[in-house]
Amino acid sequence: SAVISQKPSRDICQRGTSLTIQCQVDSQVTMMFWYRQQPGQSLTLIATANQGSEATYESGFVIDKFPISRPNLTFSTLTVSNMSPEDSSIYLCSVVDPTANYGYTFGSGTRLTVV
């Protein structure tokens, strides 16, 4: 299956600052997804990122807070802007993986703590 490298794996940030999370895939993929997993909770889709177009955000998530870039078919970034303690979560990227018979493969996640 596709291998997804996500950086950083964890970070502790001051409130009011921003953090950019990188997601690198070892093969070209059309769609990439960003999820949030709040402490003790399930995963919620933030947005879908297609190369060459604006990301599509789910209800409750806005571009100003979570800007996403998708410059090519193997890379994407998610920025968490103007952070508050409520943004403390695990952020995961995911792809539809043709090499895994179109299962969804996930990165190992970025554990963010905002203090």
Partner 1 sequence: AQSVTQPDIHITVSEGASLELRCNYSYGATPYLFWYVQSPGQGLQLLLKYFSGDTLVQGIKGFEAEFKRSQSSFNLRKPSVHWSDAAEYFCAVGASNMLTFGGGTRLMVKP
Binding site for partner 1 (CB under 8 A): 1, 6, 31, 33, 41-45, 48, 92, 94, 96, 100-109, 111
Secondary structure of residue 86 in the 3-state scheme: helix
Whole-number minimum distance, CB 58 to partner 1, in Å? 8
Output 15 or 31, the one with its CB closest to partner 1.
31
Q: Which residues contact 33 (CB under 8 A, 6 or more apart)?
A: 45, 47, 48, 49, 93, 94, 95, 104
Output 14 or 53, the one with its CB closest to partner 1.
53
Output 19 or 95, the one with its CB closest to partner 1.
95
Two structure tokens written together for 88: 């403390």
